[in-house]
Chains A and B, each alone.
Chain A
Amino acid sequence: MNLSVDIGKLKLKNPVTVASGTFGYAEEFADLLDLKSLGAIVTKTITLKSREGNAMPRIIETSAGILNAIGLQNEGLDNFLKVKLPLLKLLGTKIIVSISAENAADFILMAGKLENAGVEAIELNLSCPNIEYSMDNNSPQSGTGQKIKIFAQDCEAVFSLIKALRKKTNLVLIAKLSPNVTDISAIARSAEDAGADALSLVNTFLGMAVDIENCCPKLANITGGLSGPAIKPLALRMVYETARVVSIPVIGMGGIINAADALEFIIAGAAAVGIGTANFVNPKVSLEIIKGLEDYLQRKNFADINQIRGTLKI
Chain B
Amino acid sequence: MKNVSRCSAGECHKITNQLRLSISREEIAVLYQEDAEIIANRQVADFIFEIDLNVPKIANCAMPGQFVQIKITQSIDPLLRRPFSIFAADSAAGKISILYKVIGKGTKILSKKCSGERLNLLGPLGNGFDFSAQKCSGHLNILVGGGLGIAPLVFLAEKMKSLNNKILVLYGVTTAQEIVCIDELKKIDCELKIATDDGSTGFNGYASDLLADFLCANENNDFKNPYIYACGPFALLKQVHRLSEQYCFHGQVCLEKMMGCGLGVCLGCMVKIKNSGAQTGFSYQRVCKDGPVFDLHLVDWKNEKVS
Binding site for B on A (CB under 8 A): 21-24, 26-32, 34-35, 44, 52-53, 56-61, 63-66, 68, 70, 73, 83, 87, 90-91, 228-229, 257, 277, 279-284
Residues in B1-47 with C-beta less than 8 Å from chain A: 14, 17-18, 20-22, 25, 29-33
A64 touches B76 (CB 8 A): yes
Give the total number of A-B pairs whose CB atoms are below 8 A apart.
Answer: 116
Say whether B289 faces chain A, with CB atoms less than 8 Å apart. Answer: yes
Can you name the residue of chain A whose Cβ is closest to the Cβ of B289? A28
Query: How far in angstroms is the closest Cβ of chain B from A41?
Result: 12
A68 touches B30 (CB 8 A): no
B17 touches A30 (CB 8 A): yes
A229 touches B76 (CB 8 A): yes
- Is the contact region of chain B dominated by helix, strand, or loop, or is it mixed? loop
Of A26, A58, A61, which one neighbours B79 at CB under 8 angstroms?
A61
Complex CA distance for A59 and B80, rounded to whole angstroms: 11
Complex CA distance for A63 and B259, rounded to whole angstroms: 16
Interface bin, chain B: 35 or more
**Across the interface, which residues of B come within 8 angstroms of A83, CB to CB?**
14
Query: How far in angstroms is the closest Cβ of chain B from A123?
Result: 16
Of B18, B258, B266, which one neighbours A57 at CB under 8 angstroms?
B258
B261 touches A280 (CB 8 A): yes
**What are 29 A-to-B residue pairs whose CB atoms are below 8 Å?**
A21-B265, A27-B17, A28-B289, A29-B263, A30-B17, A30-B20, A30-B21, A53-B267, A53-B284, A56-B305, A56-B307, A57-B258, A57-B268, A58-B270, A59-B258, A59-B268, A64-B77, A64-B79, A65-B79, A68-B260, A68-B266, A68-B268, A87-B18, A91-B21, A229-B76, A280-B260, A280-B265, A281-B71, A284-B33
Complex CA distance for A66 and B79, rounded to whole angstroms: 8
**Across the interface, which residues of A come within 8 angstroms of B194, CB to CB?**
none
B79 touches A24 (CB 8 A): no
**Across the interface, which residues of A come within 8 angstroms of B21, CB to CB?**
26-27, 30, 35, 87, 90-91
B267 touches A73 (CB 8 A): yes
A22 touches B76 (CB 8 A): no
Complex CA distance for A21 and B122, rounded to whole angstroms: 20
Query: How far in angstroms is the closest Cβ of chain B from A154?
Result: 27
A58 touches B268 (CB 8 A): yes
**Across the interface, which residues of A come within 8 angstroms of B263, CB to CB?**
24, 28-29, 280, 283
Query: How far in angstroms is the closest Cβ of chain A from B282?
Result: 10
Say whether B177 faces chain A, with CB atoms less than 8 Å apart. Answer: no
Can you name the residue of chain A whose Cβ is closest to the Cβ of B20? A30
**Across the interface, which residues of A come within 8 angstroms of B262, CB to CB?**
280
Beyond contacts A28-B263, A28-B265: 11 other A-B pairs, Cβ-Cβ < 8 A, are A30-B20, A31-B32, A32-B31, A34-B25, A53-B270, A61-B78, A68-B268, A70-B267, A73-B284, A257-B76, A279-B261
Can you name the residue of chain A whose Cβ is closest to the Cβ of B10? A83
Of B31, B80, B258, B265, which one neighbours A31 at CB under 8 angstroms?
B31
A57 touches B307 (CB 8 A): yes
Specify which of B14, B33, B268, B284 lies most central, judged by the most chain A CB atoms within 10 Å of its CB.
B268
Say whether B137 faces chain A, with CB atoms less than 8 Å apart. Answer: no
Complex CA distance for A32 and B30, rounded to whole angstroms: 10
Complex CA distance for A313 and B269, rounded to whole angstroms: 44
A22 touches B17 (CB 8 A): no
Can you name the residue of chain B whose Cβ is closest to the Cβ of A91? B21
Given contacts A64-B79, A91-B21, contact A282 B265 (CB under 8 A): no
Complex CA distance for A277 and B264, rounded to whole angstroms: 13
Can you name the residue of chain B whose Cβ is closest to the Cβ of A284? B33
Query: How far in angstroms is the closest Cβ of chain B from A63?
Result: 7
Can you name the residue of chain A whose Cβ is closest to the Cβ of B268? A59
Complex CA distance for A75 and B69, rounded to whole angstroms: 26
**Across the interface, which residues of A come within 8 angstroms of B122, CB to CB?**
32, 283
Complex CA distance for A29 and B265, rounded to whole angstroms: 9
Can you name the residue of chain A whose Cβ is closest to the Cβ of B18? A87
Can you name the residue of chain B whose Cβ is closest to the Cβ of A257? B76
Query: How far in angstroms is the closest Cβ of chain A from B259?
Result: 8
Complex CA distance for A30 and B77, rounded to whole angstroms: 27
**Across the interface, which residues of A come within 8 angstroms of B268, CB to CB?**
57-59, 68, 70
Complex CA distance for A118 and B159, rounded to whole angstroms: 48
Query: How far in angstroms is the closest Cβ of chain A from B60?
Result: 14
Of A30, A279, A281, which one neighbours B25 at CB under 8 angstroms?
A30
Specify which of B14, B18, B76, B284 lies most central, judged by the most chain A CB atoms within 10 Å of its CB.
B76
B79 touches A229 (CB 8 A): yes
Query: How far in angstroms is the closest Cβ of chain A from B64?
Result: 21
Q: Nearest 4 pairs between A and B by C-beta?
A: A59-B268, A24-B265, A280-B261, A31-B29
Per-residue CB contact flags for chain B residues 289-307 toward chain A (1 = under 8 Å, else 0) read: 1000000000000000101
